[in-house]
Amino acid sequence: MALALRAITLLGLAAWCTAAISAALHDVLHLDGSATLDDVAQTCNVDAVQVANIRQLHPILHDLVNTTFFRLFRVNLKNPSCPFWGQPEKEKAKKDGGSTCTGSVPTLGDPKSLFGGMSKSSKPAFTKASADFSQISAPAAEPACGVESDGDSAGSRREEVQEAEKLDLKLTVQEKVAQQERENETEVCEFEEDLPTYWVDMCSGDSAKGLVLEDVNLIKNPERNTGYNGSHIWQAMYNENCFEVGNLLPRGRFGKDESMCYEERVLYRLLSGWHASTTISIVKNFYAPGTKQKGGWAPNLERFMETIGQHPERAKNLHFAFVVLLRAVKKSAPFLQSYQYSTGDDVEDRKTRVLMTRLLDSQLLSVCSPLFEAFDETRLFRESADPQQRSQLKRQFKSVFQNITVLVDCVQCQRCRLHAKLFSLGLGTALKALLSPPELIGNSITRDEIVAMVNVLQKLSESMEDIRVLTTAYWEKSGNNKLAVSAGDMAASRKASSAAPGSSTAALGGAMEATTRRSLLDSALAAVRQAQLLGAITAQEEEVLLGFLVAKAGENEDVLLLARHYADRPELFARIALQAAGSAPSIAAAPATKKLLGEPGAPADAVVVGGGLAGMVATLTLLDRGARVVMVEKQPYLGGNSGKASSGINAALETSVESLIKDTTKSAGSLARPELIKRLAESSADAVSWLRDRTKVDLSMRSQLGGHTVQRTLRPSNAFVGAEITFAAGQVLTKMAAEKPGQFRLLLKSKWTGLSQKSGAWEASVQANGTELLLQGASFVIASGGFGHDANEVESLLLKHRPDLADFPTTLGSQTTGDGVKIARDIGADLVDLDRVQLHPTGFVDLSKPQEKTKTLAAELLRGVGGLILDRQGRRITDELGTRQAVVNAELKAAKEGRNLLGPNPPNTYALVLNSKAAKVADRHVTLYSKKGLLRKVEGLAGLAKELEVKQSELNKTFAAYNDAAKAGKDEFGRTVFPAHLPIESDETFYVGRIVPVIHYTMGGIAINPDGQVLKKDGSVIPSLYAIGEASGGVHGDNRLAGNSLLECTVFGRHVGLNLPMTTAASQAPASALPAQAAEAAAAAPAPSEELRVITPEELAKHNTKQDSWVALYGKVYDLTEYAEEHPGGADAIWDVAGTDGTETFETVHNKELLETMGFAPLGVLKAT
């Protein structure tokens, strides 16, 4: 009974505390806790942000910024360069700066509002601002940052100001070691202006400016009142937030202020949040020691109430900035999780990594549904329909922020400038992370930027707590206790909330305080989760521990104390916690730990690394035989580069094996290996037939691609072949992993890092979600892909063997870094043909970002149906149906002759032109590429000549010669195969795109025999080790024949799966050939559409966010919110059509039959309009 009462008391205290905070925000700040933050997801309100911060984020951040790594900030403080005021010591502003920004822009001009708007008639200018914090534009008697002396002399005040401004630059021994670690680092910024790297120079720390730098301890030098008046700096910053993008850009789209566009308001609110946080730090530490209280700084509660308490919008903007920083940290999580945080002290570095893991794995972030996702940066730059206007808006956004950061150097107080630099760099880093593609984050964010971003997040978190404490103190002082709680109680609560796991301030004597319990409970829950991911406990044991920790509040204090010291060792913590749970009165003893498949002691028959088609075919075949398999995939979804294949898969079904051998051998050239080519061709019919039947993918279309002498390349009649096959196979495997964990274990987002052989079994090292795992298997299959995207790796096979390709773009995914090839080499495997890298002749150039490194492949099919490659004069350059290498050679040769298209296109760019008859044959591809802006539609020969900027007469000559050659059966380049849909006519519609040679495939790799077994340098076999797909080398020789990639994956994956030795005695019947949820969906989905509710287009349109994504397909509405992140084609494809009818977009890649196998039950029927 007593325990129950105590539990109720603790829960009541937590609820009361939350209610008290909400009351403070509402009654004192006039800020409705249930109100949304605006410009963020509607599920996120002030209460949710505040509660999440109190419960967990603030204590973790408190400990994190106190580590050696995060308390040292490298900065230039000695020779700032201010471009805006001639005499820094006088800091005299220019009068009207002549800005041409139209409309009303928020500044500090309104005496009644710290962040009010200017009058309509005034122009922003660098003006000498008022000393009063809330009255910038008019003189005031009292400086905003003046040190109050309670009657002390002016001389005494000056001495206190000077003392307050001084920085403590002394470093401990440990910090000096960390400083030395910094000396060995090189930090650079990119300045590439073209997307997607456009935002990498959003911010530029002092380390990038070649200045004299020093490391400053931020803990020893906190932000506080120095007597410095920087109001004119703030005025200038607000004036800078002024966009001029022409009268056509719609403004005031989301808010009441019709003079501000969304992008302006986002920057303004971030700046306002920064300003509010700085204000709170100053008023909290306003009165110097000895003035209001001895031995410490004292707050100015009246100033707090004047500047923050009476202006709830400022607190709201503080919360907004906090959410934006959280979003950036979340997006950067993989990079932050893997970062080394090196200071030269292994113990300290480990502590930092543990704290960062706890921050990134924080359980209570779901309070905001989810809190990390509350702000959506993708809303930026999307409202203008004019691409040129959007580009101009991006330039303005970036320029404005960079100008604001430059203004920081005009701050003449060293301590003030230190924290201003920290904040500007932290905000800039957050914006850089949010606006850049994920793959660029790791290469563009420096150490200083990590330090700044985390410290700014902590500053915002601290300010949110300070609002609560200062508000309470104000009402206590005024005798009007609106919170019905003493200042001492609040201080005690504040102290407890800062006691994160590992902190020496946690009070554990007697009954735990509620906040301490919550903090330790979070650590315990995170440790349990990690233990389950590591395989240290079973799902049943995890459930037992969760029940014990959550439901038995009065019986688990010893376990919470254990979490304080051992949460960073989850396996040990879980074992001891299970013992404690077993002795609890109402908890059954934990069952014996059961090892997961692949763990040491529970080896699999095979471990397959790589989730592309080769790995999936091998795995499916093994599972059909009854084998126990573990699959490891680096990406968050299956499919790999196979999912991008669009032209088709070859097979000798209605054509001869001999002709396939002949064409493949010709393409392979002098490096042809007859035994491998024979296996590929002879097994093609059976393997492809099995794949078609196993996945139920339509392969009814047959075409002839470049390098082929017959029509043997198969593809779906209404979809892309790679996407269809990999999606269907992936559905089968995903379902089996969920239903039969004892037979199949699937590890996504897991990187293979090492391989060794012990006692006859293979043991692989894998990083799974930041955790090191060991996997054992009797056999090991390497299907991890090639190395065509490893130019930025520490060891680059591409740069070593083909340095001439360093600047070539690629169609390959960023995961294609040759991990398997390098690891196989290190254990004795032979590598072959590493200098044979296939350049595909047609990678699309996106004219909105022509220099982007990763290109979209222009499918071989486009040339197969009649697409022509033209130079800058409108003339053909080669036989478009030649081998890929032959076409690439022609492109490079023509470029040397100066025939390639001129900039802004990359080097070696040409035009790819399809007439309307050819486009009709490739309708699915043309529709998709047109939607992406990669193909442009023009009318007639005149429109084509204008688009290409060539003479119409030259195009007439080119097409007339081509028509004549088609009639004759041969052209000047030796081409003998022409499409049936001729001639090309001058008045028809044309589709034109820009194409460039791209790195598309690496023929070289791990040496294998026809059975897929890995070979040593002497030609002998490495027992039980296999390589398939692009990770293997030798199958394609000098150059891969179009359509043979998917064929190789299928043939060798199938062969290895059928012949790999198994230790499992029983063989099982093949699993259902249908994708995972097909049968279930057919049974579960409501049969007739009339049973589904009717959903109007207006209701559908409301569900258009990343957190709530409804899409209409074929007249029915589906909720694809949870599926979006798992979509092999990327979540953007779903988010782009959320809230709309996405049928047309869906059909450009998939078909209705595929949708029916996906297992999604419709929410309703879309009402016809």
Does the pLDDT at position 676 exceed 50? yes
Q: Please tell me which of 92-101, 369-378, 644-653, 662-671 the model is most confident about, judged by mean pLDDT.
A: 662-671
Q: Which is the catalytic residue, given 863, 1036, 1040, 1054?
A: 863
The answer to whether 163 and 302 have CB atoms below 8 angstroms apart is: no
Q: How is residue 279 written in tokens? A: 């204000």
Name the band, by pLDDT with cuts 50, 70 and 90, for residue 170: low
How big is the CA angle at 75 (ends 70 and 80), to the nearest 5 degrees? Answer: 155
Which span out of 544-553, 569-578, 855-864 was modeled with the highest average pLDDT?
855-864
| 469 and 494 Cβ atoms separated by less than 8 Å | yes
Digit-coded pLDDT (tens) for 199-240: 666 665 555 455 667 889 999 889 988 777 788 788 878 776
Whole-angstrom CA distances from 286 to 121, 281, 412, 427 are: 36, 8, 19, 25
More confident call, 39 vs 139: 39
Better-scored residue on pLDDT, 348 or 785: 785
Q: Distance (Å, rounded) from C-alpha 253 to C-alpha 268?
A: 15
In the predicted model, is pLDDT for residue 135 greater than 50?
no
CA 329 to chain centre: 10
**What is the Cα–Cα distance from 684 to 676, expressed in whole angstroms?**
12
More confident position, 164 or 498: 164
**What is the SS3 assignment for 760?**
coil
Strands ordered across the beta sheet of 1104-1105: 1093-1095, 1164-1166, 1116-1119, 1108-1113, 1104-1105
Among candidate residues 840, 876, 1040, 1054, the one labeled active-site is: 840
pLDDT recorded at residue 108? 29
What's the Cα-to-Cα distance from 458 to each of 71, 325, 385, 905, rounded to whole Å?
12, 10, 38, 44
Mean pLDDT of 971-989: 92
Instruction: Please list the residues that pair with 303 across neighbouring strands.
Output: none
Average pLDDT, integer, range 116-132: 28
Residue type, 68: T
CA distance 1058 to 1052: 10
Annotated active-site residue 840? The verdict is yes
**Percentage of the chain with pLDDT > 70?**
70
**Rg (the chain; Cα; Å):** 33
pLDDT at position 836 is 94
Q: What pLDDT, on the 0 to 100 scale, is given for residue 88?
A: 38
* Type of residue found at 525: L
DSSP state of 1120: -
pLDDT at residue number 177: 54
pLDDT tier for residue 389 given thresholds of 50, 70 and 90: low
Task: Output the CA angle 406-407-410, nearest 5 degrees.
Answer: 115
Res 1081 pLDDT > 60 = no
Name the pLDDT band for 109 (thresholds 50, 70, 90): very low
pLDDT of residue 242: 58
Predicted confidence band of residue 616 (pLDDT cuts 50, 70, 90): very high
- Residue 998 pairs with which residues in a beta bridge? 840
- For 12-26, 853-867, 875-889, 1044-1058, which range has the lowest pLDDT when averaged over its residues? 12-26
The pLDDT of 1073-1097, averaged and rounded, is: 51
Q: What is the number of residues in the chain?
A: 1169
Give the whole-angstrom CA distance, residue 782 versus residue 766.
13
Strands 771-782 and 604-609: parallel
* Residue pLDDT, tens place only, 1009-1031: 999 999 999 999 999 999 999 99
Q: Residue 803: is it exposed, middle or buried by C-beta count within 10 angstroms (0-12/13-18/19+)? A: exposed
* Per-residue pLDDT, 669: 93
Contact 384, 249 (CB under 8 A): yes
CA distance 565 to 889: 64
Q: What is the DSSP letter of 921?
A: H
pLDDT score at 867: 95
Which among 75-84, 303-312, 1032-1041 has the top mean pLDDT?
1032-1041
Please compute the mean of the pLDDT values over residues 360-383 and round it to a whole number: 55
Q: Please indicate whether residue 292 or residue 5 has the higher confidence score (pLDDT).
A: 292
pLDDT at 514: 63
Model confidence band, residue 679 (pLDDT cutoffs 50, 70, 90): very high
| Pairing of the two strands 761-768 and 771-782 | antiparallel
d(CA 496, CA 519): 9
- Tell me the average pLDDT across 731-758: 90
Given a cut of 60, whether residue 480 has pLDDT beyond it is: no
Query: Residue 1087 pLDDT > 70, yes or no?
Result: no
Q: Taking residues 366-384, report their average pLDDT.
A: 54
Return the minimum-mean-pLDDT range out of 451-460, 590-599, 784-793.
590-599
Of 2 and 775, the one with more pLDDT: 775
**Spatial distance between the Cα atoms of 236 and 370, rounded to a whole number of angstroms:** 36
Q: Tell me, what DSSP letter sits at residue 711?
A: -
Helices and strands: H and E segment counts in the chain? 40, 27
> Which residues, 6+ apart, have CB-to-CB distance to 502 below 8 Å?
63, 351, 354, 355, 564, 565
Alpha carbon distance 329, 340 (integer Å): 16
pLDDT at 576: 87
Distance CA 461, CA 95 (A): 37
Residue 538 has pLDDT above 90, yes or no: no
d(CA 368, CA 323): 10
pLDDT tens for 901-947 read 987 888 899 999 999 999 998 887 898 889 888 999 999 999 999 99
Res 1112: pLDDT: 92
Angle value at C-alpha 42, between 39 and 47, nearest 5 degrees: 100
Query: What is the C-alpha separation between 225 and 29, in angstroms, rounded?
Result: 23
- Residue of higher predicted confidence among 804 and 18: 804
Alpha helices (H) along 625-718:
657-668, 674-682, 684-695
Unique residue bearing structure tokens 């049973």: 1091
Q: Report which of residues 962 and 472 the model is more confident about.
A: 962
pLDDT at 388: 64
- 263 pLDDT more than 60: yes
What confidence score (pLDDT) does residue 854 get? 87
CA-CA distance, 1013 to 1135, in Å (whole number)?
Answer: 43
CA dihedral 1114, 1117, 1122, 1128 (to 10 degrees): 10
Please tell me the distance from the alpha carbon of residue 1006 to that of residue 676, in angstroms, as a whole number.
13
Q: What is the pLDDT of residue 83?
A: 62
Once rounded to an integer, what is the mean pLDDT over residues 512-530?
A: 72
Percent of the chain with pLDDT over 90: 36
Residue 511 pLDDT grade (very low, low, confident, very high; cuts 50, 70, 90): very low
**How many CA atoms within 13 Å lie on the side-chain side of 607?**
29
User: What's the chain's average pLDDT?
Assistant: 76
If you search the block for the tokens 């590429």, which residue do you land on? 929
**pLDDT greater at residue 181 or residue 568:** 568
Do 963 and 984 touch, CB atoms closer than 8 A? yes
CB crowding 735-757: b at 16 or more within 10 Å, else e: bbbeeeeebbbbbbebbbeebee
Q: What one-letter code names the amino acid at 954? A: E
Grade residue 378 by pLDDT with cuts at 50, 70 and 90: low
| Sequence-ordered list of residues with C-beta below 8 angstroms from that of 1124, at least 6 positions apart, any chain | 1106, 1109, 1131, 1134, 1135
Kindly tell me if the per-residue pLDDT of 612 is higher than 70.
yes
Q: Is 419 a catalytic residue?
A: no
**Rounded Cα distance, 1138 and 1157, in Å:** 21
| Burial class of residue 1017, CB neighbours in 10 A (0-12, 13-18, 19+) | exposed
Q: pLDDT at position 1122, please?
A: 75
Closest CA to 446 of 700, 720, 273, 204: 204
3-state secondary structure of 1022: strand
Residue 542 has pLDDT above 60, yes or no: yes
